[in-house]
């Protein structure tokens, strides 16, 4: 009898351990605090947990696992299973997706931003480059065109951008440099302090970031129509962790990405709808540049920057022209479908 009980106990333990093995817990590294920029990550965690009955869960850490500039490094060594990062933080590590940060690409809305980002992410050369960091691209973090906040007299002509110290990363930094600005690539979490201490005169962000990181609280004015471009911030998974998922869990993750993006877009749309009331509440003046100034900005920072990027990437033996053409073809297709 004792032997039979022993066998029964072992069998019960085996079943228990088998059930335990089915449970998957991912650590996810983001930064700042929960905001519009992270809503798709939060929604994805909710969806995979709900659809798997709690067998697949994600623990989202806002800065507790890594610094934002080091998230891709953390993914590469398996320090956590999923992370968000911005291409402009380390363009040498993710050269190809920086095509999406070129100024004046003509992306008009968040739907178009999703379309061009995911088209670029699906390109084999882009996937190969990210695989060098053991990273699988899951989804973008679509943001509207950046605009700048500042103090003092509004800068509403290109002449006033001369010598302007601006927090701007990647292609946006290059755009401001082309018109005499002095870009600095402090991280989003450092932007408020940089503005407060006078390290920068202005900060370029999307609307949610001006709110989340407090720069709007120091601002006296905001450019409503500068729209030089945006940054690209993918969400990636560690390839080993992704491939270790069961077929069922992997399918749930993959199928939930579209739902997470839809939730993000709806949430961000609500923010944009109330942006004018935010400016009024905080006493921030909306500044519009004349079309002639915008045209001059695009002429100096648009095509020349695009051509320089293509030449640089092609010079490294990578498909710069092909990716640039893919962006434009995807935009054309998106506009035809609309």
Q: What is the pLDDT of residue 150?
A: 94
- Give the span between the Cα atoms of 238 and 131, in whole angstroms: 9
pLDDT in tens, 283-305: 999 999 999 999 999 999 999 99
CB atoms within 10 A of CB 248: 13
Show the domains of the chain with their CATH numbers: 24-142+231-271 (3.40.190.170), 147-230+278-337 (3.40.190.170)
The pLDDT value recorded for residue 324 is 98
Beta-bridge mates of residue 137: 236
Residue-wise pLDDT tens digits, 93-142: 999 999 999 999 989 899 999 999 999 999 999 999 999 999 999 999 99
Q: Are 197 and 190 in contact (CB under 8 A)?
A: no
The three-state DSSP-derived secondary structure of the chain is CHHHHHHHHHHHHHHHHHHHHHCEEEEEEECCCCCHHHHHHHHHHHHHHHHCCCCEEEEEEECCCCCHHHHHHHHHCCCCCEEECCHHHCCCCCCHHHHHHCCCCCCCCHHHHHHHHHHHHCCHHHHHHHHCCCEEEEECCCCCCCEEEECCCCCCCHHHHCCCEEECCHHHHHHHHHCCCEEECCCHHHHHHHHHCCCCCEEEECHHHHHHCCHHHCCCEEECCCCCCCCCCCEEEEHHHHHHCCHHHHHHHHHHHHHHHHHHHHHHHHHHHCHHHHHHHHCCEEECCCHHHHHHHHHHHCHHHHHHHHHHHHHCCCCHHHHHHHHHHHHHHHHHHC
Please report, for residues 73, 120, 238, the alpha-carbon distance to residue 133 in angstroms, rounded to integers and kept in the order given.
7, 17, 8
- Cβ proximity of 200 and 148 under 8 Å: no
Q: How many residues does the chain have?
A: 338
Q: Where residue 338 falls among pLDDT bands split at 50, 70, 90?
A: low
Q: CA–CA separation, 224 vs 147, rounded Å?
A: 7
Most confident of 3-7, 153-157, 243-247: 243-247
Percent of the chain with pLDDT over 70: 93
Q: What is the pLDDT of residues 156-199, one digit of tens each?
A: 999 999 999 999 988 889 999 999 999 998 888 899 999 999 99
Cα radius of gyration (the chain): 22
> What per-residue string of b and e applies to 187-218 under the rule 16 or more CB within 10 Å gives b?
bbebbbebbeeeebbbbbbbbbbbbbbebbeb
Pair 105, 67: CB distance under 8 Å: no
Give the Cα separation of 32 and 209 in Å (integer).
Answer: 10
Q: Which residue has tokens 């997706």?
A: 97
The dihedral region occupied by 323, where left means phi > 0, alpha psi between -120 and 50, and beta the remainder, is: alpha
Query: What pLDDT is recorded for position 263?
Result: 98
Distance linking the first and last C-alpha atoms of the chain: 73
Task: State residue 335's pLDDT score.
Answer: 85
């Amino acid at each position: 009898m004792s032997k039979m009980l022993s066998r029964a106990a072992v069998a019960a333990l085996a079943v228990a351990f088998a059930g335990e093995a089915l449970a998957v817990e991912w650590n996810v590294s983001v930064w700042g605090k929960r905001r519009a920029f992270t809503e798709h990550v939060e929604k994805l965690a909710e969806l995979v947990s709900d659809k798997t009955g709690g067998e697949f869960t994600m623990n989202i850490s806002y800065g507790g696992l890594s610094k934002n500039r080091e998230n891709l490094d953390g993914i590469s060594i398996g320090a956590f299973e999923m992370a968000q990062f911005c291409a402009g933080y380390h363009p040498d590590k993710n050269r190809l997706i920086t095509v999406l940060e070129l100024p004046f690409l003509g992306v008009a809305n968040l739907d178009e931003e999703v379309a061009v980002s995911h088209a670029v992410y699906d390109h084999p050369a882009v996937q190969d480059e990210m695989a060098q960091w053991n990273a699988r691209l899951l989804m973008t973090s679509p943001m509207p065109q950046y605009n700048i906040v500042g103090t003092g007299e509004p800068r509403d002509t290109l002449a006033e951008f001369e010598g302007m110290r601006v927090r701007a990363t990647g292609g946006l930094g290059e755009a401001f440099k082309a018109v005499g600005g002095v870009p600095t690539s402090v991280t989003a979490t450092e932007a408020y302090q940089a503005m407060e201490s006078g390290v920068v005169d202005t900060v370029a962000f999307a609307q949610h970031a001006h709110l989340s990181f407090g720069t709007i609280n120091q601002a006296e004015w905001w450019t409503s129509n500068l729209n030089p471009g945006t940054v690209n911030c993918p969400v990636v998974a560690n390839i080993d962790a992704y491939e270790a998922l069961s077929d069922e869990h992997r399918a749930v993750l993959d199928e939930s990405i579209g739902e997470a993006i839809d939730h993000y877009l709806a949430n961000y749309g609500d923010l944009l709808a109330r942006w004018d009331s935010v400016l009024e509440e905080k006493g921030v003046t909306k500044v519009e540049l004349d079309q002639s100034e915008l045209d001059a900005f695009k002429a100096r920072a648009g095509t020349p920057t695009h051509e320089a990027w293509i030449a640089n990437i092609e010079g490294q033996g990578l498909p710069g022209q092909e990716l640039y053409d893919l962006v434009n073809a995807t935009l054309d297709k998106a506009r035809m479908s609309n």
